[in-house]
């Protein structure tokens, strides 16, 4: 017999085996074929097909389909292409129809499928419809199975023995019960009670079934024949392009639009270089059948209005698609590929077998509108890609602890101190050695919880929506892949991005970008103040003051170049050059730390030799270093003789989750190719090591160029319009840093921060003439509804005249009113701005109106307030900080200076290079990293009122102090001031939390 009914862990929280484990076990037991039949989904299809190829197992595609609200369930096995399409439609209906009926759905979509069931009514119904029903006797010849077998024989319906399993061994039942407890949000004991009637079967060997079914041997033979009739071995659509429905052919229309756009970009007299490049790209695009893809993306970016005009949105077209001149002329991208030497072949070439990929960023608060338009315009033919969310260590520990009955506060106390874990290492041992957990008591049930939690790491928990991937298909999308609805209501396919790509479904990434919202709002604010700002012809990367801003690393708020690592790199480079910024945006990837300093050394004139003489001209633009994704491909071609398609495959596999198997093959091929060219093994090892620095995420040059341009636009606006720019940064909810940090940066820019005011503040922050008014949304505990009432009542009835007028017209709750008073938003309504008096007036108003739910129609007059003392200055600042999370007038560290004595301030660090100092700083953010030996260390950003300080905590110091470090608190740091290519940092050797300072 063959395993015709096996669930993997993609039967979410109902299975414990991965598809790879199923196939490995099938091979070990001698099975030649196996059917994956996960509950109500095809999530694991591509992982299953890959595992079958590795193990030499013939795959059978299938799925269990349940009827909600009943215990009715069938198992569908795909016989042919028609059956596959019907299975996708069955599953789609199962997830999208409110009153889904198995019988009604199977009546329409059973052709091409074997439908296995134990329900006689369903089997009889299918037989009457001329379908292929099969009686599923399960893994044991029970009494119920005997009745079903006899009935099937009478009705001449095939009957088979099946595995019907979801665990590997019987010992895995405890793990299965844990998953059920987590899934149902109950304790393990409750799950045991709930599942006590459930029979959980394990994946057994053929001889086990031969022995069990010796009394019914025909059922084993029938399962063998059934498997042999399932000839479909996986989806094979080719490339599925989004359809073009214009009156003329896609290729003709694309040519017209491309040349029209070229004249707009370059003028009517196009140069030979532009024409030749356009013709080359158009020929490749047409020959590969990709014309419709470009047109559909262009229509998404510049969606036609009802009057035929096109809507202009602020976008950033990025990814490898930014290397296309056609995309640039269609205004899908904004970086000229000719000017910056971007290679079209990185994006599209005749040897490339996977789909093209154009990523489009929209302003973050416009992205949902764009997605809604796309899904509506292509209803039934479009859906978003899903993400498969797997248990990671922190989630596994938290959910397991809940199932063990641990209280929430105890779980949070531990899990919030878990920064990261090393792959493959023992979980309990790692936690025992974590500096952040030093002093924590992990006795009692915690060791057992952690050991059990380790077993579910890597198991899928649920699916979510991909950040922006959209699939558009010519036929209904449910013919290709099952579709369901995400909790937010959007349709999603059941495969994540790699599975969609393997299937040939072309993904369009429509993503949200906060910096585009910042740039949009800043320019709108500048124009609203009467400044003429023309974007056509705006080339911020050529502006010298902007270059100086970038070169100083004064780029907080400036998109991709605001992180501590990027700001330090800008300071080390020192020139603010756009083309160098393109390199720096890519070389800063996590696995390339050792190459960053070497890049800076070479940038400043340090001597260097190419990795190999044949690469002298290949990597000369990047000083002999591999920086971009395409460098991996180019090196493989030039040194190891790879074809361009094979080299591109090597580049792609480095970002995949399951790269280990394929990467070993590529390594062997690369070393063999280099050896054939007489390149020494040590030299090849060094080159391969640099290639491996692209493990995880990395950028191609077109992507970096696109990001660098948005970063330069932001830096330009910050240079010339700091108030408007920083107001836009904070109103768009910032980027890398907290609002607190951006407020400090505002002050360092010489901009005055004005507190919120119920007569002057809007919902968002507003900047003008080096002054920023805090927006009402910044006040903690004040609802959106109250903010709406404050603004609308002010617009309709004029400014608020006094506190009573404000309270009566807006009706805040007591807590909301107190927060507005504490932050200073009502100071202008009382001539002395005495917040004690304002609190008295609030209390008096509430007493006067306590008798009725609504305020009286006549205007309430409050009696004169008694002579009350103002709050002490420190108390007033403390309340303001609680209400806003920052202080408008001063930095909080100022309040602690008297307690700590003389300290070196940040702006004097350069004069203390090479010296040990003490520094009082406020912790903003940190980045935890691992050394080559696997030890934890951290880079932390502190600030005082004068500037930022980047501090390094090497492993020994990190181990000692990690458990006391919390962002949003002041610390005294002792350490050595160091300088590297002009970038000054502090290497810390001692930390005192402020309350412990001597």
> Using one digit for the tens of pLDDT, what is the confidence trace for 136-171?
999 999 999 999 999 999 999 999 999 999 999 999
Tell me the C-alpha distance between 846 and 807, whole Å: 9
- Please write the tens of the pLDDT for every residue from 114-137: 999 999 999 999 999 989 999 999
Report how far apart, in Å, the C-alpha atoms of 924 and of each of 72, 575, 969 are.
56, 27, 8
Helix orientation angle between 393-403 and 446-456, rounded to the nearest 10 degrees: 120
Please state, in angstroms and as integers, the Cα–Cα distance from residue 136 to each residue in 61, 67, 87, following that order.
17, 17, 18
Contact predicate 756/819, CB 8 Å: no
Compare 344 and 949 and report the one with higher pLDDT. 949
The pLDDT tens digits for 258-295 are: 999 999 999 999 999 999 999 999 999 999 999 999 99
The position carrying tokens 């019914």 is 216
What is the average pLDDT across 838-855?
81
The more confident residue out of 825 and 588 is: 825
Report CA 711 to chain centroid distance, whole Å. Answer: 20
What confidence tier does 442 reach under pLDDT thresholds 50, 70, 90? confident
Angle at Cα 208 formed by Cα 207 and Cα 210, nearest 5°?
Answer: 60
d(CA 118, CA 254): 55
* Closest residue by Cα to residue 403 from 391, 388, 387: 391
Q: Is the pLDDT of residue 997 over 50?
A: no
Q: Which of 502, 499, 53 is nearest to 239 (CA)?
A: 502
So what's the pLDDT on residue 960?
95
CB 90 within 8 A of CB 66: no
Percent of the chain with pLDDT over 90: 80
Given a contact cutoff of 8 angstroms between Cβ atoms, the answer to whether 202 and 169 are in contact is: yes
In terms of pLDDT, which residue wins out, 849 or 995? 849
| Residues 16/179, Cβ–Cβ less than 8 Å | yes
Give pLDDT tens digits for 633-651. Answer: 999 999 999 988 888 888 8
Q: Which residues contact 501 (CB under 8 A, 6 or more apart)?
A: 354, 355, 507
Give the relative orientation of helices 629-640 and 659-676 as an angle to the nearest 10 degrees.
40
In 3-state terms the chain splits into helix, strand, coil percentages (rounded to 5) of 50, 15, 35
Per-residue pLDDT tens digits for 305-348: 666 666 678 899 999 999 999 999 999 999 999 999 998 888 88
SS (HEC) of 501-562: HHCCECEEEEEEEHHHHHHHHHHHHHHHCCCCCCCCCCCHHHCHHHHHHHHCCCCCCCHHHC
**Cβ contact 5:136 at 8 Å:** yes
Considering the chain, what percentage of its residues have pLDDT values greater than 70? 97
pLDDT band per the 50, 70, 90 thresholds, residue 935: confident
Distance CA(567)–CA(576), nearest Å, equals 11
As a whole number of Å, the CA-based R_g of the chain is 33
In the chain, count of helices (H) and strands (E)?
A: 39, 21
CB 626 within 8 A of CB 693: yes
**Predicted confidence band of residue 195 (pLDDT cuts 50, 70, 90):** confident
Residue, of 608 and 855, whose pLDDT is higher: 608
Report whether pLDDT(857) > 70: no
Span 952-982, pLDDT tens digits: 999 999 999 999 999 999 999 999 999 999 9
**Residue 998: per-residue pLDDT:** 37
The candidate with the shortest Cα–Cα distance to 557, out of 515, 594, 589, 517, is 515
Q: Is 197 exposed, middle or buried (0-12, 13-18, 19+ CB in 10 A)?
A: exposed
- Helix (H) / strand (E) element for 953: namely strand 948-953
The chain-wide mean pLDDT, for the chain, equals 93
**pLDDT tens for each residue of 527-575:** 999 999 999 889 999 999 999 999 999 999 999 999 999 999 999 999 9
Region 939-957: mean pLDDT is 96
pLDDT tens across 163-177, in order? 999 999 999 999 999
**For residues 468 and 512, what is the distance between their CA atoms, to the nearest angstrom?**
8
The pLDDT, as a whole number, for residue 931 is 85
Phi, then psi, of 303 in degrees rounded to 5: -65, 130
What single-letter DSSP state applies at residue 242?
A: P
From 253, 260, 205, select the one nearest 29 (Cα to Cα). 205
- Confidence label for 1 from pLDDT (cuts 50, 70 and 90): confident
User: Residue 29: helix, strand or coil by DSSP?
Assistant: helix
Query: Residue 855 pLDDT more than 80?
Result: no
Residue reference for tokens 């050059």: 577
Measured CA to CA, the distance from residue 241 to residue 348 in angstroms comes to 14
Q: Which of 33, 41, 30, 32 is nearest to 8 (CA)?
A: 41
Q: What is the pLDDT of residues 790-812, one digit of tens each?
A: 999 999 999 999 999 999 999 99
Long-range CB contacts (within 8 A, 24+) of 66-71? 66/39, 66/40, 66/94, 67/100, 67/101, 67/102, 68/100
What is the maximal distance between C-alpha atoms in the chain?
99
Beta-sheet pairing, 507-513 with 460-472: antiparallel
Between CA 749 and CA 560 the distance in angstroms is 20
């Amino acid at each position: 017999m063959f395993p015709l009914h096996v669930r993997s862990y993609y039967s979410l929280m109902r299975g414990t085996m991965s598809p790879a484990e199923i196939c490995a076990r099938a091979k070990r037991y001698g099975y030649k074929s196996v059917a994956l039949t996960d509950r109500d989904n095809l999530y694991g299809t591509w992982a299953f097909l890959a595992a079958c190829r590795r193990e030499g197992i013939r795959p059978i595609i299938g799925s269990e389909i349940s009827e909600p609200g009943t215990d009715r369930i069938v198992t569908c096995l795909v016989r042919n292409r028609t059956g596959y399409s019907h299975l996708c439609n069955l599953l789609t209906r199962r997830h999208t129809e409110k009153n889904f009926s198995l019988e009604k759905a199977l009546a329409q979509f059973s052709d091409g499928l074997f439908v296995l069931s134990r329900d006689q009514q369903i089997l009889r119904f299918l037989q009457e419809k001329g379908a292929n029903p099969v009686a599923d006797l399960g893994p044991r010849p029970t009494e119920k199975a005997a009745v079903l077998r006899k009935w099937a024989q009478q009705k001449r319906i095939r009957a088979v023995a099946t595995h019907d399993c979801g665990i590997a061994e019987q010992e895995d039942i405890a793990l299965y019960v844990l998953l059920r407890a987590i899934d149902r949000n109950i304790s393990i004991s409750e799950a045991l009670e709930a599942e006590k009637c459930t029979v959980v079967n394990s994946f057994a060997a053929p001889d086990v079934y031969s022995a069990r079914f010796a009394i019914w041997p025909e059922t084993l033979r029938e399962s063998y024949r059934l498997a042999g009739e399932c000839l479909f071995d996986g989806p094979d659509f080719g490339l599925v392009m989004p359809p073009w429905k214009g009156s003329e052919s896609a290729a003709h229309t694309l040519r017209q639009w491309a040349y029209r756009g070229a004249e707009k970009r370059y003028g009517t007299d196009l140069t030979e270089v532009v024409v030749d490049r356009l013709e080359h790209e158009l020929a490749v695009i047409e020959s590969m059948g990709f014309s419709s893809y470009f047109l559909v993306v262009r229509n998404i970016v510049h969606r036609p209005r009802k009057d035929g005009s096109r809507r202009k949105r602020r976008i950033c077209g990025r990814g490898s698609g930014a290397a296309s001149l056609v995309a640039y002329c269609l205004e899908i991208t904004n970086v000229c590929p000719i000017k910056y030497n971007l290679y079209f072949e990185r994006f599209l070439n005749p040897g490339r077998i996977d789909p093209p990929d154009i990523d489009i960023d929209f302003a973050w608060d416009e992205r949902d509108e764009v997605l809604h338009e796309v899904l509506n315009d292509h209803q039934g033919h479009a859906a978003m890609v899903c993400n498969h969310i797997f248990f990671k260590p922190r989630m596994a520990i938290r959910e397991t602890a809940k199932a063990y009955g641990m209280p929430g506060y105890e779980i949070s106390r531990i899990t919030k101190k878990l920064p990261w874990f090393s792959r493959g290492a023992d979980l309990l041992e790692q936690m025992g050695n974590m500096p952040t957990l030093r002093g924590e008591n992990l006795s009692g049930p915690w060791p057992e919880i952690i050991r059990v939690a380790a077993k579910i790491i890597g198991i899928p928990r649920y699916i979510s929506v991909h950040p922006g991937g959209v699939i558009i298909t010519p036929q209904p999308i449910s013919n290709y892949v099952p579709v369901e609805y995400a909790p937010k209501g959007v349709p999603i396919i059941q495969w994540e991005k790699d599975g969609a790509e393997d299937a040939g479904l072309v993904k369009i990434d429509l993503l949200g970008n906060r910096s585009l919202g910042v740039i949009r709002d800043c320019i709108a604010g500048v124009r609203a103040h009467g400044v003429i700002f023309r974007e056509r012809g705006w080339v911020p990367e050529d502006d010298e003051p902007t270059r100086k801003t970038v070169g100083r690393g004064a780029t907080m708020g400036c998109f991709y170049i605001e992180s501590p690592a990027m700001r330090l790199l800008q300071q080390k480079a020192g020139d603010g050059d756009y083309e160098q910024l393109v390199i720096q945006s890519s070389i800063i990837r996590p696995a390339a730390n050792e190459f960053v300093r070497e890049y800076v050394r070479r940038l400043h004139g340090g001597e260097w030799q190419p990795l190999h003489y044949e690469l002298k001209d290949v990597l000369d633009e990047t000083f002999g270093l591999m920086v971009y994704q395409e460098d991996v491909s180019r090196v493989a071609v030039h040194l190891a003789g790879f074809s361009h398609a094979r080299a591109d495959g090597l580049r792609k596999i480095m970002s995949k989750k399951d790269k280990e198997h394929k990467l070993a093959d590529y390594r062997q091929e690369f070393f063999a190719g280099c050896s054939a060219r007489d390149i020494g093994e040590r030299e090849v090892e060094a080159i391969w090591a640099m290639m491996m620095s692209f493990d995880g995420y990395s950028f191609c040059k077109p992507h970096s160029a696109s990001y660098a341009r948005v970063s330069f636009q932001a830096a330009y606006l910050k240079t010339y319009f700091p108030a408007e720019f920083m107001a836009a940064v904070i109103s768009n909810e910032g980027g890398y840093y907290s609002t607190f940090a951006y407020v400090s940066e505002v002050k360092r820019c010489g901009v005055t921060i004005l507190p919120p005011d119920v007569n002057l503040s809007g919902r968002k922050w507003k900047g003008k003439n080096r002054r920023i008014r805090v927006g009402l949304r910044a006040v903690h505990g004040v609802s959106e509804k109250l903010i709406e009432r404050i603004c609308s009542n002010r617009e309709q009835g004029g400014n608020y005249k006094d506190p009573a007028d404000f309270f009566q017209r807006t009706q805040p709750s007591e807590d909301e009113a107190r927060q507005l008073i504490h932050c200073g938003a009502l100071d202008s309504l009382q001539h002395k701005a005495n917040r004690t008096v304002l609190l008295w007036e609030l209390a008096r108003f509430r007493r006067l109106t306590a008798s009725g739910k609504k305020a009286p129609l006549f205007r309430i007059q409050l009696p004169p307030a008694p002579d009350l003392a103002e709050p002490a200055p420190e108390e007033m600042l403390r309340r303001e900080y609680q209400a806003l999370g920052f202080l408008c007038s001063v930095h909080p560290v100022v309040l602690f200076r008297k307690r700590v004595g003389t300290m070196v301030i940040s702006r004097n660090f350069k004069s203390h290079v090479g010296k040990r100092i003490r520094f009082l700083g406020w912790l903003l953010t940190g980045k935890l990293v691992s050394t080559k030996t696997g030890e934890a260390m951290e880079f932390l950003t502190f600030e005082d009122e004068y500037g930022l300080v980047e501090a390094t905590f090497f492993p020994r110091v990190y181990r000692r102090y990690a458990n006391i470090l919390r962002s949003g608190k002041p610390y005294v740091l002792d350490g050595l001031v160091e300088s590297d290519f002009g970038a000054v940092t502090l290497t810390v050797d001692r930390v005192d939390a402020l309350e412990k300072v001597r």
